[in-house]
Amino acid sequence: MRGSGVILTALVTLSSAALIYHRAHPAIETQWVTYTSGAEEVRAFAVMPQSGGVSPAIIAIHEWWGVNDWVQQNAKKLAKEGYLVLAIDLYRGEVTADQETAHQLMRGLPEDRALRDLQAAFAYLQSRDDVDKSRIGSIGWRMGGSYSLQAAVHLPELAACVINYGRLVTEAEAIAQIKAPVLGIFGGLDRGIPVKDVRAFEKQAQRSDKNLTIEIYSKSGHGFINENNARAYNAKDAAAAWEKTFAFFAEHLK
């Protein structure tokens, strides 16, 4: 009987743990949408919960490859958490798997146009009846992480910002413009964005009394969240980073 009690206690514990980590994912639907950015018509991959009603929203910003399948899967992953996700296309339809082409696309992207596209994406989401206009966040990876931070700098109404190993700013004037809570996720082995640069950004943000959370995964390098990045992917750290992201958006957008 005593042994049975131990087994029962273990089963209850395991059941409780399962409940803690289980999420009820709503059904989603996807579509490509278009909207105006300056004088241009641009497009984005939109993913919406089918539950109806009004949802918080997230602008998702791609890596230097463009709006590929991986970015679209990430948009779906976030939408299943209850957000309307807009994966914006900064490349005007260009997508590549070739590193040299991706480098050229990134270098050829006018920064002022990209910022205008971010502002247009935000305005588009605010225009939708199914979006909570006061709860719009941003997330990006690599190049997109840099632009997620730029969204926080240039969109004072942004409600939350996640940077996944994106290029940082340390200018006091730029950081002073940030109103949104920021989560920064970085790899401790990242040579492109070394820890010293992350700490410099963190220090300046603290001086400006910003709501900033930094997560550094000491055994990971640049791009460690992307499972298609065979040289850098770290499954354990990627899962932990996603959990931090889900919790951060739940705290600030729901």
pTM: 0.90
Rg (the chain; Cα; Å): 19
Residue 49 — pLDDT band, cuts 50, 70, 90?
very high
Domain boundaries, the chain: 27-253
CATH of the domain spanning 27-253: 3.40.50.1820
Residue 24 — pLDDT band, cuts 50, 70, 90?
low
For residue range 113-168, what is the model confidence (pLDDT) as tens digits? 999 999 999 999 999 999 999 999 999 999 999 999 999 999 999 999 999 999 99
Question: Is it the case that residue 14 has pLDDT exceeding 80?
Answer: no
For residue range 211-254, what is the model confidence (pLDDT) as tens digits? 999 999 999 999 999 999 999 999 999 999 999 999 999 999 99
Q: Enter the DSSP assignment of 25.
A: P
Query: SS3 string of 170-218?
Result: CCHHHHHCCCCCEEEEEECCCCCCCHHHHHHHHHHHHHCCCCEEEEEEC
